[in-house]
Amino acid sequence: MAPLEFYFDFASPYAYLAAERLEEIAARRGRETVWRPIMLGAVFKETGMGPLFHQPMRGPYGERDFLRSARLYGLPARIPEKFPYTALAVSRAFYWIDASDPKAAKRYGVAVFRRYYGDGIAPESEDEAVSLAEAVGIDGSAARAGIREPEIKARLKDETEQAIGRGVFGAPFIFVDGEPFWGADRLDQIDAWLERGGW
């Protein structure tokens, strides 16, 4: 069966809340996942939306809801001082790792999410992207070279364009056998969809 396709931006708060729980659901239902970081800024240009925490009225509620939901799920969470951030280096590093070892790429992805929303530090620079790779056991200088590869840069751009073409307008956005689900709120529906084969 096709893997569940998980589109997200590393700066998205609800993608952070969804990532590890999606893995648990997929494992319980015997399904694989593929992670596809994209640059949500490019998506927002299509929809006219902006980062949640900056929106009038929705922003203050969003912060409260994010922290409250994280407490419920038992995930460490804070509102980073810098919000959002441009997750270019870490997204490229992800695809470079993913090309040879998808499991390691997911471990890297979890570390990136936790660095930002757990520690409150935006891993925006190449140095930070590399040091997170080292923290999950990946060679730093190889990762640094990987981030700079033209093929890797093109991959992130292509994935973002493909996502827009498939109707992805926010994160997390998950396809289950072609069925689109948007939002961390939809994980329970995804679980039910996998159990019943749709409804």
Task: Report, in Å, the least distance between residue 62 CB and its own copies.
Answer: 9
b/e burial code for range 52-66 (CB count within 10 A of at least 16 → b): bbeeeeeeeebbeeb
Kindly tell me which of 76 and 167 has the beta carbon lying closer to its own copies: 167
Kindly tell me which of 137 and 199 has the beta carbon lying closer to its own copies: 199
Task: Report, in Å, the least distance between residue 169 CB and its own copies.
Answer: 4
Kindly tell me which of 108 and 175 has the beta carbon lying closer to its own copies: 175
Q: How many alpha carbons fall within 13 Å on the CB side of residue 29?
A: 24
Q: How many alpha carbons fall within 13 Å on the CB side of residue 43?
A: 26
Contacts (Cβ under 8 Å, ≥6 apart) of 78? 67, 117, 118, 119, 120
Task: Report, in Å, the least distance between residue 12 CB and its own copies.
Answer: 15
Helices (H), the chain: 13-28, 40-47, 58-73, 88-100, 102-113, 126-135, 140-147, 150-165, 187-196
Kindly tell me which of 1 and 72 has the beta carbon lying closer to its own copies: 72
Kindly tell me which of 130 and 171 has the beta carbon lying closer to its own copies: 171
Task: Report, in Å, the least distance between residue 136 CB and its own copies.
Answer: 31
Contacts (Cβ under 8 Å, ≥6 apart) of 91? 9, 10, 37, 38, 39, 156
Task: Report, in Å, the least distance between residue 45 CB and its own copies.
Answer: 11
Q: Return residues touching its own copies (CB under 8 A).
A: 46-49, 55-58, 60-61, 64-65, 68-69, 71-72, 167, 169-170, 180-183, 185-186, 188-189, 192, 199
Kindly tell me which of 85 and 182 has the beta carbon lying closer to its own copies: 182
Task: Report, in Å, the least distance between residue 185 CB and its own copies.
Answer: 4
